Amino acid sequence: MNIMSDLAKTRRKNTLALLADKHMTKKMLAEGIDVSPPLISAYLGKNPHKAMGDNLAAKICKFLGVTLRELDTDQDFIDSIIRDSAPIFGDSAIKTEDKYVLVPLFKNVKASCGNGYLNDDNQEVEMIPFDGKKLSSRNISKKNVQVIFTDGDSMLPIIPHGAQVFLDRTRNTVQRDGLIYVICLGELVLVKYLFRLPNHGLRVVSANSNKDLYPDIILSKEEIESDTFHITGQVFHVDYELPF
């Protein structure tokens, strides 16, 4: 029994989708990249028994006019994670006076939900109340909580502009795909979904489906390990006021 890797499955799925979009057949693809139709069927047929390697993937990308990065991206998986993410919006932070704790809000630091926000070095901090039970239930210490504002629309409909995002500063490694983090990229502060890549890189993803305005950011292993990148913390709660 042949077991295909996740990458090979993604390449097969994306190739078939691209052929359908371009109204092309597998035979046309075979002729276009100068291989036999039976060989293409071995990779793309109903019961494939070959896993697409980098050389064949590169030929297909060139013929179909896409990048290898596009062919290797499982967009359905990313969309499902974003769509099915557990709600992080809570009730009002203050329940009763004996249940809340004070956590720091950095008033002039904004985590951009757009293309990045250059922050002022002068920090203005205000202590604001938050429901202590929400911290204890998730094993988060109040000393590790930081609150900042969002700026922009790239995380709509999950996080609106001007929301307060609460992050746990101890959770600064990606343990599971599709969680929301605040990251520093150069001198920019961003709030985004993070997805791990096979080469130990990261895909930085906006919730907003308009990829022309908010394209994914691909970070290599070298870029992640450089001084210009840092995961500040994982977002565990969002508060915002509804318009009226």
Three-state SS string across the chain, please?
CCCCCHHHHHHHHHHHHHHHHCCCCHHHHHHHHCCCHHHHHHHHCCCCCCCCCHHHHHHHHHHHCCCHHHHCCCHHHHHHHHHHCCCCECCCCCCCCCCEEEEEEEEEEEEECCCCEECCCCCCEEEEEEEHHHHHCCCCCHHHEEEEEEECCCCCCCCCCCCEEEEECCCCCCCCCCEEEEEEECCEEEEEEEEECCCCCEEEECCCCCCCCCCCEEECHHHHCCCCEEEEEEEEEEECCCCC
Residue 97 has pLDDT above 70, yes or no: no
Q: Which among 185, 169, 182 has a CA at the least distance from the CA of 227? A: 185
Distance of alpha carbon 94 from alpha carbon 99, whole angstroms: 8
* Each residue's pLDDT tens digit, 216-228: 999 999 999 998 8
The CA-based diameter of the chain, rounded to the nearest angstrom, is 74
At 101, is the pLDDT very low, low, confident or very high (cuts 50, 70, 90)?
A: confident
Q: What is the mean pLDDT of the chain?
A: 84
Residue-level pLDDT at 31: 93
Residue-level pLDDT at 121: 53
At 92, is the pLDDT very low, low, confident or very high (cuts 50, 70, 90)?
A: very low
Q: Which domains does the chain have, with CATH numbers?
A: 6-73 (1.10.260.40), 100-239 (2.10.109.10)
* Each residue's pLDDT tens digit, 6-38: 788 889 999 999 999 889 999 999 999 999 999
Percent of the chain with pLDDT over 70: 84
* Each residue's pLDDT tens digit, 120-136: 555 678 889 998 888 98
* Each residue's pLDDT tens digit, 225-244: 998 899 999 999 999 876 65
